[in-house]
Amino acid sequence: MNFFIEGIQGAGKSTLVGRLAEKLPECHVFREGDYNPVELAWCSYLTKEQYEAVLGKYAEIADEIRANTTVERVFATEVMSADRNAEDRCVLTYTRILTDIPGFHKDLEQYEIYNGRVDRENFEKIIFSRFAKWHGDNQVFECSIFQNIVENQILFYEMTDDEILEFYKELAQVIRVENYKILYLDVPWVAGALEIIRKERVDAEGNEMWFPLMLGFLEDCPYGKKHGLKGFDGLVKHLEHRKALELRILKEVFPEHAVILPSKDYDLDSMDF
């Protein structure tokens, strides 16, 4: 069996991933920022030429960059350039690299495929291709089928709910693996969950770290600007919308694979996997 752990921010996804890893030690766990066969969140997706340029620019940590890189063979129908039959793509887990080099992480962030950095058509090609190639077993994925993809679709491509639903209908058709479950942590009170995580995600002095970044991200994106989403209330509104959409997708597209769990109020030991 394979498991996709999903839910809005504050649902307890990381906790559930950790508990599953303990319960099912035979499973390989893919957390956000890891190299992942189906998704590319927090990873740079570079052409060979871009990758060589990065190695040259950051020669002092070139060995560490190489150690955090996976080279994939990608066909032209799956990526942006259609002038060659095939090309290598280098997936660099740059957030796993600890360095004091100024601007390194910001520089590598530009090569992600999210936040509108590639157009919608190519984004969908990349996601469909990765899921079509996936042949996993005994794997646990954190935020790999909904969160980052849906956020990108709502906030940057400004897709309607029906358009996103159609995307997932197509995605369900390209997935060849049959033995997977989507464990969705349903948060009953979005505002309450946000209040908890904004207090938890602070630095050593108690200064909020995650919340201001999340607000800036929401307020500056095309969807946030268009709909005037600001502050705590704007974030709650967005996440309530996202949660409702994801639950609709589970019901209409993945009913046989969906397991809805009350956030932070479930008995994992009673589940038969």
Give 80-86 contacts, CB < 8 A, sequence gap 24+: 80/118, 80/122, 81/47
H-run or E-run covering 219: helix 210-220
Q: d(Cα 208, Cα 217) in Å, to the nearest integer?
A: 15
Query: Where are the chain's structural domains?
Result: 2-39+118-270, 43-111
Centroid of chain to Cα 81: 24
Architecture of domain 2-39+118-270: 3-Layer(aba) Sandwich (3.40)
Residues in the chain: 273
> What percentage of the chain carries pLDDT values higher than 90?
89
How close are the terminal C-alpha atoms of the chain, in Å?
A: 7
**Got the DSSP string for 20-42?**
HHHH-TTSEEE-TTS--SS--TT
6 burial level (CB within 10 Å; 0-12, 13-18, 19+)? buried
Residue 162 token pair: 């029906």
| CA angle (148 as vertex; 97, 175 as ends), nearest 5 | 105
Instruction: Please give the C-alpha separations between residue 97 and each of 14, 33, 66, 250, in angstroms, as whole numbers.
Output: 21, 10, 11, 35
83-129 pLDDT tens trace? 445 578 999 999 999 999 999 999 999 999 999 999 999 999 999 99
User: CB within 8 A of 162, min separation 6: which ones?
Assistant: none
217-260 pLDDT tens trace? 999 999 999 999 999 999 999 999 999 999 999 999 999 999 99
Q: d(Cα 208, Cα 201) in Å, to the nearest integer?
A: 6
pTM: 0.92
- With 80 as the cut, is the pLDDT of residue 82 above it? no
